[in-house]
Amino acid sequence: MKITRRTLLGTGSAGLLTAGLGPILPTRAWANARLEADGRSLDTLSDGNLVLPMGFLTAEGVDAAALRPILEKHGVTGDSYTPDCNVTLLRDGDRVVLFDVGSGPDFMPSAGKLTEALDAVDLTPDDVTHVVFTHAHPDHLWGLLDEFDDPIFPEASYMIGRSEWDYWIDPETVDTIGEARASFAVGAQRRLEAVEDRIEFFDDGAEILPGVAARATFGHTPGHMAFEVALGGESAMIVGDAIGNHHIAFERPEIASGADQDAEKGIATRVALLDQIAAAKMPMIGFHLPTPGIGRAEKTDDGYRFVAVE
């Protein structure tokens, strides 16, 4: 498996008009990495970043002060943090597959940049043949529709885990998910219903596309899925938000995350997934790992360490 890293430049959506020169569009640079073997490739594309309160990192009742040294070691300080958003792109023959679609225009102004990233790798939304969802939180799903509620990827078929679909499409979810996430439920239902006639469901262990196997990683959401992608004689794991950051989630995976809807399931999933990835020395791609989001997990004496691709 070959790993390459580069810098991509994307064109901004707002321009400056200068006399006689026409519009000058600002550019945005981000790191990109690619895994490739036997004619298949996995790229990471930036959807921008989120801006979240520090309290989102740990669940209620966790001694956050005791974790401060870990965060400071990784340069995470202040009242908020800014996790990157890395969408994974698989190219395999005629298939152009996106794993998640980012935030779109309606979640946070710092995110929703996926169409710029596609342009930087010479693709348009029309080129996407399949969209596969890890889960239906806003930063993974809301990029499905544009500001006019039309599908951004008009030629794509869509795939989601059956349990994840059942949870978000259930009209009772908005009343049971909690006030802080009620808008997540409303937004997910609206967007999923927009592609209901074009969506396929799968369960744990299914080969959803050639060389792409679904792995149940419940906890962050009730039906969250990771995906093991074969590349040559090796595999890479797309972990979505099952491993949600490169500091506490690795060094103290047994700590409950405030981002997980079921904290205890999230812990069990995270520990098992890190153990598998580290033991197999398997490349991993994390949606909120530092851009470009590709690296490996190494076992330490009391936890794990994220080693970014070089």
**Domain edges within the chain:** 26-227
10-19, 39-48, 285-294: the lowest-pLDDT one: 10-19
7 pLDDT higher than 60? yes
Calculate the CA 244 to chain-centre distance. 9
CB atoms inside a 10 Å sphere around CB 135: 26
Secondary structure string (H, E, C) spanning 83-147: CEEEEEEEEECCEEEEECCCCHHHCCCCECCHHHHHHHCCCCHHHCCEEECCCCCHHHHHHHECC
- Is residue 50 within 8 Å of residue 253, measured between CB atoms? no
* Type of residue numbered 1: M
Q: Is the pLDDT of residue 188 over 70?
A: yes
pLDDT, tens digit, 9 for 90 and up, residues 23-49: 444 445 666 778 988 889 999 999 999
Residue 14 predicted with pLDDT over 50? no
Q: What is the pLDDT of residues 82-134, one digit of tens each?
A: 999 999 999 999 999 999 999 999 999 999 999 999 999 999 999 999 999 99
Q: Which residue has the tokens 């309606």?
A: 106
* Domain range 26-227, its CATH number among 3.60.15.10, 3.10.20.340, 2.60.40.420, 3.40.50.920: 3.60.15.10
250 Cα distance to chain centroid: 17
Predicted TM-score (pTM) of the model is 0.92
Mean pLDDT rounded to a whole number for the chain: 91
CB atoms within 10 A of CB 192: 20
Q: Where are the alpha helices (DSSP H) in the chain?
A: 68-73, 114-120, 138-141, 162-169, 173-176, 182-194, 248-251, 263-280
pLDDT of 31 reads: 64
pLDDT at 20 over 50: no
The angle subtended at Cα 49 by Cα 44 and Cα 54, nearest 5°, is 130
- What pLDDT, on the 0 to 100 scale, is given for residue 131? 98
Q: What pLDDT score was predicted for residue 102?
A: 98
Q: What's the pLDDT tens digit per position in 213-256?
A: 999 999 999 999 999 999 988 999 999 999 999 999 999 999 99
> Within a 10 A sphere around the Cβ of 75, how many other Cβ atoms?
8
- CA–CA gap between residue 96 and residue 46 (Å, rounded): 17
**222: closest CA among 280, 274, 266, 279?**
266
SS3 155: coil
3 token code pair = 């790993």
Residue 12 carries which side chain, given as an amino acid letter? G
Residue-wise pLDDT tens digits, 119-174: 999 999 999 999 999 999 999 999 999 988 999 999 999 999 999 999 999 999 99
